[in-house]
Amino acid sequence: MKYLLSFFIVMIVSLFAVAQENTVEERPDAVFMGNSITQNWRNFHPDYFTENNFIGKGIGGEVTSQMLIRFRKDVILLQPKVVVIFAGTNDIAQNQGYVTHRQIMDNIASMADLARFHDIKVVLCSVLPAGKYIWRPEEFNQMVRPAEAIVRLNRMIAEYARENDCRYVDFWTLMSDGEGAMKKELSGDGVHPYPDAYFAMEALLTPVIKELCEP
């Protein structure tokens, strides 16, 4: 009897702890999964994240396969209401070697599928425009043609979002110079936005997240 009572006490305490962890107030409204662009966002605009109950999980240089590996730890276990997946440019830059558009999209889709399975709403962001990757030799940029490759990947991301109950946020149109490169006033290297450029991105993204967080 004594052991049975102890068991029930432990169970009640455990259930209470889980309930406390899972309260709406404790859950982040959104987790941002991404690369250095997301990492810089969190560093440049920390108040945007703290005031909106957002968490930034960007790691510089990462490709989508690396994000998928850490998706459970950095997103699922945090139980956000929304995940913002902002990925793909480093895959096109071949930071970890050659990868096809289909493989990139499969990684993004796998993250989105995992999130939806765990009742986390999904926002998929377009890859930002880039005419070239400055850390790559000119021969690479001429062969890969980043501007065209990004447009193709963004079409795939948008199509997946339409067909799988995800929201798509089009940063590309907002930031493109009309020829597939980023507007010069928005970036020094053509890939990473200046701190002030994030304000326009926030104006586009925040209402989408807030709408998804509504009961």
Other CB atoms closer than 10 Å to residue 48's CB: what's the count?
Answer: 17
Token pair 């799988």 is at which residue?
Answer: 164
Domains and CATH numbers, the chain: 27-213 (3.40.50.1110)
- Whether the model pTM is above 0.85: yes
Maximum Cα interatomic distance, the chain, rounded to a whole number of Å: 77
Predicted local confidence at residue 26, as pLDDT: 75
Q: pLDDT tens, position by position, for the chain (215 residues)?
A: 433 333 232 233 333 333 333 333 479 999 999 999 999 999 999 999 999 999 999 999 999 999 999 999 999 999 999 999 999 999 999 999 999 999 999 999 999 999 999 999 999 999 999 999 999 999 999 999 999 999 999 999 999 999 999 999 999 999 999 999 999 999 999 999 999 999 999 999 999 999 999 98
- 82 and 209 Cβ atoms separated by less than 8 Å: yes
User: Which residues in the chain belong to E strands, given as ranges?
Assistant: 30-34, 54-58, 82-86, 121-125, 167-169
**96/83 Cα distance (integer angstroms):** 24
3 state SS of 32: strand
